[in-house]
Amino acid sequence: MKEVKVPILPESISEATVAAWHKKPGDYVEIDDVIVEIETDKVVLEVPAEESGVLSEILEKEGETVNEQQVLGLLDDEAKEVEVETPAEEVVAEIPAEEVSAEEKVVAEVPPEEIVEEETQNKASDDNLNLNVAPVMSNRMEERVPMSRIRKTIANRLHSATQNTAMLTTFNEVDMSEILTMRSSYKEAFEKKYSIKLGFMSFFVKAAVESLKKFPTVNAYIDGDDIIYHAYCDVSVAVSSERGLVVPVLRDAHKMEMHEIEKRITDFAYRAQEGSLDVDEMSGGTFTISNGGVFGSLLSTPILNSPQSSILGMHKTEDRPVVVDSEIVIRPMMYLALSYDHQIIDGKEAVQFLISIKEALEDPARLLLKV
């Protein structure tokens, strides 16, 4: 008999929750089949079968809190898969005429018109009866569902960010014409060479990285009475999944090329839906970018991703009338929002940082020349 145990949990995580059993007692399990999923406050871990056999018992039900290496169930590794024979088709025998009951004979002998009349009377009686016992229909149902461990962690972190920082948001807008033109001109060549589509995120990550170099305080955060500055840029990218918002990190984003950024973010998004991101991939980060525009958001105030001191919010690109060289023209515009901790970042610095991003995006050659 083999024990199905909670796997070794990532550093700083002491307990988990049984999220979902994929097998039930009596099910045959092959080696590496996922038996159960364990949810921590950061990631969902799959527990595969180390041996083939039959799951004989579940010791911890869904929703239970468990610790590292705790036994979740028992697997009989000596049991073999049982082949279930398909039952033969049932043969329906005809009842001989002599075995028909007297009651059935009586029903058969009643003239059809009398049957119809009796059924009509019975139906009327039933309808009158139903009027007295008709159930009261209601659409005011409620359902109480416990928050998942990941959702509770997200809620606590967001609440902490609003309570422990002097959060302020500054806004600007960017003309996306040049980026759209560049994407249209080079999207086929880019995809052919790198096997990945050219999106918006690589432009924004590049613009953010170059701006962070100019304004290092935006890339820093408070730790007690100290300010921690970083000589590198680890950019967290907010990714939505069915289990909640996760923020995997682009390590050393200042060293990455645009195709590397696009590939990494695509991989993050895919594995976020699968729930297969590692805790290490979502730890740390010095600056965050969140793209609410993919859901149609026109303007918002993003909440800080603690302990970071700033976050950039992207929004929906929309054609709007703007004044260019004293003329009103229609341009594809996007609102940008920078939320920051006023305890460490001054308003002037925040505004200049956001203008730096705006200028880099409106003139993408700046990203190549790094000016």
Distance CA 205, CA 193 (A): 21
> How many CA atoms are closer than 13 Å to the CA of 70, on its beta-carbon side?
17
**Two tokens, residue 2:** 């083999």
Distance CA 327, CA 321 (A): 10
32 is catalytic: no
41 is catalytic: no
Evaluate whether 278 touches 46 at the Cβ level (below 8 Å).
no
Three-class secondary structure of residue 124 per DSSP: helix
Which of 32, 126, 278, 346 is catalytic? The answer is: 346
Distance CA 33, CA 46 (A): 10
Distances (CA, A) of 360 to 36, 237, 255, 369: 47, 19, 17, 10
DSSP letter assigned to residue 63: T
Evaluate whether 167 touches 349 at the Cβ level (below 8 Å).
no
Residue at 188: amino acid letter: E
Distances (CA, A) of 61 to 1, 23, 74, 226: 19, 12, 13, 45
Evaluate whether 268 touches 291 at the Cβ level (below 8 Å).
no
User: Measured on CA atoms in the order 274, 275, 280, 283, is the torsion positive or negative?
Assistant: positive
Task: Residue 248: name the closest of 178, 327, 322, 305 by CA.
Answer: 305
Place of tokens 């950024």: 261
Report the DSSP beta bridge partners of residue 108. none
**Two tokens, residue 68:** 């590292």
Q: What is the DSSP string of 185-201?
A: HHHHHHHHHHSS---SH
DSSP letter assigned to residue 311: E
Query: Active-site residue numbers?
Result: 342, 346
